[in-house]
Amino acid sequence: MIIPRHVIDEMIDQARQDAPNESCGYLLGSGDVVIENYWMENVDHSPEHFSFSPRDQFAALRYAREHGLNILANWHSHPASPSRPSEEDLRLANDPHIRYAILSLLNDEPHLNSFKILNKKVVDKEIHL
């Protein structure tokens, strides 16, 4: 998956604004190229986990369809831990067709990786930042 720098910068800005809570959203695009970040509210308002609101998820799906885009990845931030899936992240990764991107803000040094997760195991990792 290719994530342009301006989209990564937007994700970092969003994650810093939402910190100390996790930030989250979808990465929308075509093929394997991300075109935009679709921010969604972390309704858990937690620094250790996130949940999308169903209303935001339906709005994102509608927006993607209207603009001819696909959901390429589900992403969230780890404000104080590394860019790797937690046990909860692995357990909740149920869609085998998308990637799961994690933006770490640990020590104020952003790192972004995305993962293909199948059967609660990482089967592929891409480093984006």
pLDDT, tens digit, for every residue of 62-75? 999 999 999 999 99
pLDDT of residue 81: 96
Closest CA to 33 of 7, 14, 9: 7
- pTM, whole model, 2 decimals? 0.95
pLDDT of residue 13: 97
pLDDT of residue 61: 96
Segment 5-60, tens digit of pLDDT:
999 999 999 999 999 999 999 999 999 999 999 999 999 999 999 999 999 999 99
User: How far apart, in whole angstroms, are the C-alpha atoms of residue 79 and residue 87?
Assistant: 16
User: How far apart, in whole angstroms, are the C-alpha atoms of residue 129 and residue 52?
Assistant: 24
What does the pLDDT average to over 103-120? 96
pLDDT of residue 87: 94
pLDDT of residue 115: 97
Q: Are strands 33-40 and 24-30 parallel, antiparallel or unpaired?
A: antiparallel
Where do the H-state alpha helices sit in 1-129?
5-18, 54-66, 87-92
pLDDT of residue 109: 95
